[in-house]
């Protein structure tokens, strides 16, 4: 009853080129019994841990509920977010500069960048933050002017730099060393032919970088940078070394020191960290989509592919050594392509 009638019933006939519909394969699916057993076992273990946790007094869930939106905690969460964002922004800018310096043909510039990386990657961030915290003992004033001459302006370090600022500087300078390597990898991943083409068009080096190389390296730079942002969110808990104590972790430790009930506050802090991490992951997803333009966006370009009827099915992507090529079989050349104009009149 449901079989299709191959003979046309109405007036319209199928075009002769239309191939006969092939019969879908109806086979019994291969079963994976052990996969299922293992999955059920895992779910059982997980649920029992959850149920157990729900009734274990040490977790003190009512306290978790109380403190989750405690003003002190939510303020600390905002401070943590500020520390993360400010230090990452500085680190990314500095990282790009350092990466470009490392790729510079000038040996002095190159060595300077290398030295920076050597120092800031080679020492623990906790130690660096502690040293930054002692900066006012090392340099009691900040002088602006010509070295070894009377300064034009002079500040007291303590007055000029709050512990919040010092925390950001400490985190950013450390992170910049890692960002530099990420950016460098991204720049090196771009086909050298791109720089050559831009240069041949008369573009300056900085135009080539900002318009051609950096936008393309973004695809390589963003995923590990997302990693770094999430890592930074958690590293902010170390700024207690400065000492700066208004971020999430130190704040919740301070509160639990009063209440003698540390576990619910650790849970509260964790929930906030998880919440921010989730938001960052969503942001990363959209950023990645944005910079995949022209490369990984075949499905998204409805506008582009819409005009060429029948082309879409004929597109065979052949990607080799970073130079994407698309071969349209000649038999289904879209009618929208006018024939090549041989007598290019000028």
Partner 1 sequence: MSDMNPSARNTPAAASVATAPPMVLAEQVSKSFGSNEVLKSISLEVKRGEVMCLVGPSGSGKSTFLRCINHLEVLSAGRLSVDGELIGYREANGKLYEMAPKEAARQRRDIGMVFQRFNLFPHMTALQNVMEAPIRVKGLPKAQVEQTARALLARVGLAERAEYYPAHLSGGQQQRVAIARALAMEPKLMLFDEPTSALDPELVGEVLDVMKGLAKSGMTMIVVTHEMGFAKEVADSLVFMDGGVVVEAGDPDEILTNPQHRRTQAFLSKVL
Q: How many CB atoms lie within 10 A of CB 38?
A: 11
Closest CA to 277 of 204, 325, 218, 226: 226
Least distance CB 217 / partner 1 (angstroms): 10
- What track of x and - describes contact with partner 1 for positions 247 through 286 (by CB under 8 A)? ----------------------------------------
Binding window for partner 1 (CB under 8 A); candidates: 97-105, 106-114, 166-174, 335-343: 335-343
Closest CA to 171 of 114, 239, 228: 239
Least distance CB 9 / partner 1 (angstroms): 39
Task: Looking at residues 34 to 93 of the shown chain, list those that interact with partner 1 (rule: CB under 8 A).
Answer: none
Closest CA to 70 of 236, 288, 254: 254
What residues contact residue 271 under an 8 Å CB cut-off, 6+ apart? 64, 68
Binding window for partner 1 (CB under 8 A); candidates: 148-156, 175-183, 254-262, 291-299: 291-299
**Of the residues 51, 134, 160, 326, which one makes contact with partner 1 according to CB under 8 A:** 326
Side-chain-side CA neighbours of residue 249 (13 Å): 15
In degrees and rounded to multiples of 5, residue 333 shows phi and psi of: -55, 130
Task: Looking at residues 188 to 247 of the shown chain, list those that interact with partner 1 (rule: CB under 8 A).
Answer: 191, 193-194, 196-205, 207, 211-212, 215-216
Least distance CB 263 / partner 1 (angstroms): 50
- Residues 54, 210 contacting (CB under 8 angstroms): no
Closest CA to 268 of 82, 84, 85, 63: 63
287 makes contact with partner 1 (CB under 8 A): no
302 makes contact with partner 1 (CB under 8 A): no
Return residues touching partner 1 (CB under 8 A). 191, 193-194, 196-205, 207, 211-212, 215-216, 291, 293-295, 297-298, 301, 303-305, 307, 315, 317, 323-328, 330, 336-346
């Amino acid at each position: 009853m449901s079989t299709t009638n191959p003979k046309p019933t109405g007036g319209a006939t199928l075009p002769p080129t239309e191939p006969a519909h092939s019969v879908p394969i109806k086979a019994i699916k291969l079963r994976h019994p052990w996969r299922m057993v293992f999955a059920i076992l895992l779910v059982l273990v997980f649920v029992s841990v959850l149920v157990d946790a729900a009734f274990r007094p040490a977790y003190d869930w009512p306290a978790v509920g109380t403190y989750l939106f405690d003003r002190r905690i939510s303020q600390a969460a905002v401070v943590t977010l500020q520390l993360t964002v400010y230090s990452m922004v500085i680190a990314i800018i500095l990282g790009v500069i350092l990466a470009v310096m490392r790729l510079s043909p000038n040996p002095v510039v190159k060595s300077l960048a290398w030295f920076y990386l050597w120092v800031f990657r080679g020492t623990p961030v906790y130690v660096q933050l502690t040293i930054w915290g002692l900066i006012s003992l090392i340099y009691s004033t900040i002088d602006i002017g010509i070295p070894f001459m009377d300064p034009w302006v002079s500040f007291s370090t303590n007055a000029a730099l709050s512990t919040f600022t010092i925390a950001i500087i400490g985190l950013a300078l450390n992170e910049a060393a890692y960002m530099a390597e990420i950016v460098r990898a991204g720049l090196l991943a771009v086909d050298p032919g791109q720089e050559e083409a831009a240069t041949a068009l008369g573009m300056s080096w900085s135009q080539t970088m900002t318009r051609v190389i950096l936008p393309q390296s973004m695809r390589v730079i963003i995923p590990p940078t997302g990693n770094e942002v999430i890592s930074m969110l958690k590293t902010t808990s170390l700024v207690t070394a400065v000492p700066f104590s208004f971020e999430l972790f130190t704040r919740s430790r301070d509160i639990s020191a009063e209440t003698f009930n540390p576990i619910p506050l650790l849970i509260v802090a964790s929930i906030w960290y998880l919440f921010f991490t989730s938001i960052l992951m969503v942001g990363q997803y959209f950023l990645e989509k944005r910079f995949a333009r022209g490369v990984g966006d075949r499905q998204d370009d409805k506008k582009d592919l819409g005009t060429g009827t029948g082309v879409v099915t004929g597109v065979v992507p052949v990607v080799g050594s970073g130079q994407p090529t698309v071969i349209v079989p000649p038999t289904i050349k879209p009618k929208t392509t006018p024939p090549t104009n041989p007598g290019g009149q000028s």
